[in-house]
Amino acid sequence: MNHRLPSLNALRMFESAARLRSFKLAAEELHVTQSAVSRQIHTLESQLGVLLFRRRNRAVELTDAGEQLLPVMTRAISEIGAVTRRIGSAGQSANDPVHLVISATPGIAELWLGARLGRFCRAYPHIEPEILVSTDLKPLQNGRADLAIHWGTGAWPNLQQELLHPTMEFPVCSPRLLERGPPLTTPADLRHHRLLHWQSRGWWGAWLRAFEVQDVDWNLGPLLHNYALALDMAIAGEGVALADDLLASEALLNGELVKPLAEVRAPEYQQQLLMRADPERPEAVAAFRDWLHNEIAQHDRDNAVLREPRPFRADAPARRPRRRSAITQK
C-alpha cells in the first residue's frame, strides 16, 4: 500500500526546530515567522496523529516520537544537500567565479582580516569573498556563511573547528598615558588607572586573578562591545585595555600602543576557525582555510617580539592613523 508522505515543508521545519530545540531559532534559521513554524509543525503532528513536541513556557522538548524522527530527517536533509551540491558543481565551469562567505567577529574583521583580504583575492582570482561581521555563529549555522572566525573554547556540535591562533593577552595603553603618569610598572599599579573593558568585565577579572593582583576593582571602567573601540580609547590615552598580539599588533608596532607590563596570559577563549562538515563549496573553503593559516603563521613569524613575556616599546612611535576596512556590520 502506498502511504502519502507528510508535507516536506513541515518536515524541514520540524528538523530545524527539533535540532535547535526552539521554534524561534528555527524561524530565524529558515527566514520565516515563528507562527509559520508553529503552524507547519501542528500540521505535521495532525498528519502523523502524534505529538512531536512538548510545549513549555519558553522552550520545547521532543517526545519519544520526535526523538525517533529527528535523526532520520537530519540525515535525509544532509544527503539531499550533498547530492544537489554535487549536481550543481558538475555543471559549473572551472572558470566561473565562486562566491565564498566568511563570517568574522568585528575585531578580527576590522583590525586584521580586512587589510589582508586583497592578498587572498590576488592568489585566488576565481573566488569572490564576502565578509559578514557577526558576534555569533548564526550565519554559519543557518547556511548563510561557509566559514566562521570566532572566539571560543571549542565543542560546537555539528561543526568542524580548528585553533586559528593561540591568543596571548596583556595590558596595553598609550605612551602618553605613561608619560603623564601615574606609573605603570607592576600589575598592582593598575589600581591607579582606568580599566577599559571589551564585551565583559570578566576578562580583566580573570587576568588580575591569574597574577594574584589585589586591590584593583575590575568592576569599574567603561564597557565596550567592540574590540576596536576599546583599543581606540586606549590609543586616546583614556585608560588601559587588555589586548592580544594578533589584533593589537599594528597599533603596537606603529607606537600608538605600548605593552607596559611583562605579564602575559593565555585566556580560555581562543580564536577558532569553524566550518560545516559538508560545505557547499569545499574547494573554496579549503583554499581560504589554507591561506588563512599561512597568513597567521607569517604574522607570528614577523611579530614574534609581541609574544615575548616582557614589556614592548616601539622604537619610533609614529602617530599614523590605524587602517579601517570597509566591511559592513551585520
- Dihedral (CA of 191, 197, 202, 203) sign: negative
Where along the chain do its domains lie? 8-90
- Residues 277-304 have pLDDT tens digits of 878 888 899 999 999 999 998 888 888 7
Task: Classify domain 8-90 by CATH architecture.
Answer: Orthogonal Bundle (1.10)
Pairwise CA distance, residues 210 & 204, whole Å: 10
Closest Cα to residue 13, out of 137, 32, 59? 32
The structure's pTM equals 0.67
Pairwise CA distance, residues 115 & 119, whole Å: 9
In order of 179, 198, 260, the CA distances from 318 in angstroms are: 16, 25, 18
C-alpha cell at 200: 565583559
- Residues 210-253 have pLDDT tens digits of 999 988 998 999 999 888 999 999 999 999 999 988 899 889 98
Phi, psi (5° rounding) for residue 91? -95, 5
- Residues 105-147 have pLDDT tens digits of 988 998 999 889 999 999 999 999 999 998 888 888 888 899 9
| Spacing of C-alpha 71 from chain mean position | 28
Pairwise CA distance, residues 114 & 287, whole Å: 17
Query: The cell 566568511 sits on which residue?
Result: 102
